[in-house]
């Protein structure tokens, strides 16, 4: 980052802000009138958030149509293309959805004299799930680990299927759901004290890996198999990789044959032991006389994502400086990683997140492109892909292929979830102290558009502005707030406040015109601690890392660490791969998050990292996690 710099006290932004306070409450925007803007915003959001786009999942035909739509708008506005690109698309490669490979095999060797091998048949007896990895295993010892659940021992209700059970280097059999899952008032029922994620595939996968298991064998509990013991399809549990070890579902009859060969109780009997009494009683056990052989093939193909970029050139001595107006256009498809409806396979249309921000970016492109005179600075409009996977599109731009020099990028505006302006017309603007005078500008301009502005100094790594801010670029992130439809199938068009969006467009136009016209380039201020906010219930410890969410890496590779964070103080660096946290292995981002979630601010934890050819162990004292406004970060 560039060191902090200060503008003169009579900075243009501050002078403009003071001038605004003397204007009438209805300062008109310089662009098109509000009514046509309303229709344009409605049309853009309606297209992007239509079921036909399938939730704009990476690698889907829906996200390709969305990219083409954005490019067609740019072309219709006669926007230029950036140097080095063939048209409006900036392609980059990411890990795509997993695929079931060929040559699957799963069998059990029985040591007892006369005992016959138990050979499984794909789709009849077992099915690998895409939430796990692939690999070969021979002579794995086997253990039954109940429901595969470990809860916080300090929580209101504590339960641990792994207590006293050594599964290091073994295959573990785990049941679906949780004991007494359907019994009202029981510990794991919806109205009980259980942790909300205890019965999820994610918890079972991460928990098994952190205990050292080499393979997970999932089986329907008696409640799930009440009518028919069906195998899930390869992608039915989601397409995000929760663990690097194979995660395989098996039929109850197949697992009962394994238990029988080991002289162990049946699944029905084990479930009864766990849940038959007044208190739940984990009944895990190591199986004797049986070992498992497996060959599981899960492929991780690469796919091409694309940012969509249009350019409005400036004119004059400042024309080589760039103002970026950005928004991400990808979303969650039919759920999976990031969805807050984890068991739903419905389309997540993402009308607010982030068809609204993309439409706002397009509206501002229309307004600026229609101006008769060029602006002093170049304005680059960017629609990012793979934001939901960890800001991959914007990070690719700033780190791998910046089409215009980052050190000549004057400002970045980011629009992410601007479609739910509430009755109080509250608009949060993050990053207001990343350049001097900007806080005063947004605070003074807001009332002219009947907006209640919440200026916030925080620049958290929860949306694409963070990629630019980490490189020393002043930013503003406009956000109308999270809501109960966030990352759920219910985030649909009919819930978007288009009148509010048009109002925000008028306000944003004034801000960006001010930045584009300033005679002096906005100075960058790194900022101090985030301004105080109420703590969020359930928030956990923070290390302060910036992961890159690359599924092809075993461990968690870091794009960087936050200034002043626990990670920086411990000596972690961008490029490090975290492979251990607090004494437990880390294979995926989910293992890392599990470690953070079960830690507390102030804890000292050992962080094992791969740095080039070396493996290092560093100690970090964890910070308190910052409050979150709807988007995820560590």
Structural domain spans, the chain: 28-95+302-517, 99-299, 541-624
Q: What is the pLDDT of residue 526?
A: 86
Residues 6+ positions from 190 with CB-CB distance below 8 Å: none
Burial of residue 426 (CB within 10 Å: 0-12, 13-18, 19+) is middle
Residue pair 254/74 in contact by the 8 Å Cβ criterion: no
CA-wise closest residue to 305 among 84, 60, 44, 88: 60
Mean pLDDT is lowest, of 494-498, 511-515, 517-521, 625-629, for 625-629
Q: What does the pLDDT average to over 302-322?
A: 97
Q: Distance (Å, rounded) from C-alpha 450 to C-alpha 29? A: 13
Q: In what order do the strands lie in the sheet with 247-250?
A: 118-120, 105-110, 285-296, 135-144, 171-175, 215-219, 247-250, 126-128
Q: Is 69 left (phi over 0), alpha (psi -120 to 50) or beta?
A: alpha
Residue 587 is predicted with a pLDDT of 92
Euclidean distance between CA atoms 544 and 423, whole angstroms:
35
At residue 593 the predicted structure's pLDDT band, cuts being 50, 70 and 90, is: confident
Q: How confident is the model at residue 239 (pLDDT cuts 50, 70, 90)?
A: confident
Give the model's pLDDT for residue 347: 95
For 577, the 3-state DSSP assignment is: strand
> Mean pLDDT of all residues in the chain?
88
Classify 591 as helix, strand or coil: helix
* 3-state secondary structure at position 256: helix
pLDDT band at 189 (very low <50, low <70, confident <90, very high): confident
* Confidence grade of residue 550 (pLDDT, cut at 50, 70, 90): low
Residue 633, pLDDT > 80, answer no
Helical segments of 132-211, H only: 201-210
- Are 477 and 463 a contacting pair, CB within 8 Å? yes
Question: Nearest-CA neighbor of 333 among 348, 343, 345, 344?
Answer: 348
User: Are 429 and 453 in contact, with CB atoms under 8 Å apart?
Assistant: yes
Peptide bond into 560 cis (omega under 30): no
Give the orientation angle of helix 252-261 with respect to helix 267-275, to 10 degrees.
Answer: 90
Residue 66 CA to chain centroid, in angstroms?
A: 20
Q: Residue 610: is its pLDDT beyond 70?
A: yes
> How do residues 107-164 score in pLDDT, each as one tens digit?
999 987 778 899 999 999 999 999 999 999 999 999 999 999 998 876 678 899 999 9
pLDDT band at 196 (very low <50, low <70, confident <90, very high): low
Burial class (CB in 10 A: 0-12, 13-18, 19+), 529: exposed
Query: 349 in helix, strand or coil?
Result: coil
Query: Rounded to 5 degrees, what are φ and ψ at 415?
Result: -120, 115
Cβ atoms 574, 512 nearer than 8 A = no
Is residue 79 pLDDT above 50, yes or no?
yes
Beta pairing, strands 556-561 & 577-581: antiparallel
Range with the lowest mean pLDDT among 8-12, 348-352, 439-443, 601-605? Answer: 8-12
Q: What is the pLDDT of residues 17-49, one digit of tens each?
A: 434 433 333 333 444 444 689 999 999 999 999
pLDDT at res. 461: 65
Query: Of 248 and 182, which is predicted with more confidence?
Result: 248
pLDDT of residue 528: 54
Question: 99-299 adopts what CATH topology?
Answer: Glucose Oxidase; domain 1 (3.50.30)
Q: b vs e for 595-619, b when ≥16 Cβ sit within 10 Å of the residue's Cβ?
A: bbbbbeeeeebebbbbeeeeeeebe
d(CA 303, CA 291): 37
Between residues 563 and 73, the one the model is more confident about? 73
Q: Residue 217's beta-bridge partner residues?
A: 173, 248
> What DSSP state is assigned to residue 190?
T
Fold entry, domain 541-624 = Pdz3 Domain (2.30.42)
Q: Which token pair is 110?
A: 């029985």
Greatest Cα pair distance, the chain, in angstroms, is 94
CATH, domain range 28-95+302-517: 3.40.630.10
Six token digits for residue 426: 């509250």
pLDDT (0 to 100) of residue 35: 63
Residue 246: pLDDT band with limits 50, 70, 90: very high
The dihedral sign for the CA sequence 36, 38, 43, 48:
positive
Residue 5's pLDDT is 27
Say what the pLDDT of residue 50 is.
97
Mean pLDDT of 551-572: 86
Sequence length of the chain is: 634
Question: Which DSSP letter does residue 29 get?
Answer: P
Q: Taking the CA of residue 353 as centre, how many other CA atoms within 13 Å lie in the half-sphere pointing to its CB?
A: 30
CA 596/CA 590 separation, integer angstroms: 10
């Amino acid at each position: 980052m560039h060191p902090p710099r200060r503008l003169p006290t009579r900075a243009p932004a501050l002078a403009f802000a003071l001038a605004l306070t003397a204007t009438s409450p209805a300062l008109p925007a310089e662009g098109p009138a509000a009514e046509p803007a309303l229709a344009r915003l409605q049309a853009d959001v309606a297209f992007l958030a239509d079921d036909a786009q399938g939730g704009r999942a990476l690698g889907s035909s829906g996200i390709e149509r969305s990219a083409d739509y954005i490019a067609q708008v740019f072309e219709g506005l006669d926007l230029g293309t950036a140097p080095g690109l063939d048209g409006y698309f900036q392609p980059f490669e990411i890990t795509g959805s997993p695929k079931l490979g060929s040559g699957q095999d799963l069998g059990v060797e029985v040591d007892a004299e006369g005992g016959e091998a138990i050979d499984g048949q794909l789709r009849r007896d077992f099915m690998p799930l895409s939430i796990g990895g692939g690999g070969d295993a021979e002579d794995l010892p086997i253990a039954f680990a109940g429901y595969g659940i470990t809860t916080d021992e300090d929580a209101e209700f504590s339960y641990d299927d792994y207590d006293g059970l050594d599964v290091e280097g073994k295959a573990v059999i785990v049941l679906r759901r949780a004991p007494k899952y359907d019994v009202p008032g029981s510990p794991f029922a919806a109205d009980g004290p259980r942790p909300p994620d205890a019965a999820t595939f994610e918890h079972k996968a991460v928990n098994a890996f952190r205990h050292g298991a080499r393979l997970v064998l999932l089986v329907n509990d008696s409640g799930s198999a009440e009518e028919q013991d069906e195998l899930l399809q390869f992608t039915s549990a989601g397409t995000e990789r929760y663990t690097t070890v194979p995660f395989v579902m098996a039929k109850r009859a197949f697992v009962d044959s394994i238990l029988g060969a080991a002289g162990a109780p049946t699944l029905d009997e084990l479930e009864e032991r766990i849940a038959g009494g007044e208190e739940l009683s984990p009944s895990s056990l190591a199986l004797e006389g049986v070992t498992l052989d497996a060959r599981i093939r899960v492929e991780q193909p690469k796919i091409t994502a694309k940012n969509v970029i249009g350019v409005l050139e400036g004119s004059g001595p400042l024309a080589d400086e760039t103002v970026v107006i950005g928004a991400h256009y990808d979303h969650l498809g039919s759920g999976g990683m990031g969805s807050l409806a984890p068991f739903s396979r419905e389309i997540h249309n993402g009308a607010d997140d982030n068809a609204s921000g993309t439409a706002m970016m397009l509206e501002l492109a229309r307004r600026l492109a229609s101006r008769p005179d060029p602006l002093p600075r170049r304005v680059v409009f960017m629609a990012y892909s793979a934001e939901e996977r960890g800001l991959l599109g914007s990070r690719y731009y700033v780190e791998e292929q910046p089409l215009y020099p980052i050190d000549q990028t004057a400002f970045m505006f980011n629009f992410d979830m601007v479609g739910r302006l509430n009755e109080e017309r509250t608009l949060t603007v993050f990053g207001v102290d990343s350049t001097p005078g900007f806080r005063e500008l947004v605070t003074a301009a807001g009332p002219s558009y009947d907006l209640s502005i919440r200026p916030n100094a925080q620049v958290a790594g929860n949306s694409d502005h963070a990629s630019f801010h980490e490189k020393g670029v002043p930013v503003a992130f406009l956000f109308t707030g999270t809501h109960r439809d966030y990352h759920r199938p219910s985030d649909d068009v009919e819930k978007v406040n288009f009148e509010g969006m048009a109002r925000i467009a008028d306000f944003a136009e004034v801000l960006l015109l001010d930045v584009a016209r300033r005679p002096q380039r906005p100075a960058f201020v790194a900022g101090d601690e985030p301004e105080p906010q109420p703590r969020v219930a359930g928030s956990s410890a923070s290390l302060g890392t910036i992961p890159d969410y690359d599924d092809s890496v075993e461990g968690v590779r870091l794009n960087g660490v936050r200034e002043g964070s626990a990670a920086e103080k411990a000596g972690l660096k961008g490029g490090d791969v975290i492979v251990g946290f607090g004494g437990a292995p880390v294979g995926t981002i989910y293992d890392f998050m599990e470690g953070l979630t079960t830690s507390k601010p102030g804890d000292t934890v050992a962080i094992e990292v791969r740095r080039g050819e070396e493996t290092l162990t560093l100690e970090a004292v964890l910070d308190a996690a910052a409050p979150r406004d709807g988007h995820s970060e560590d």
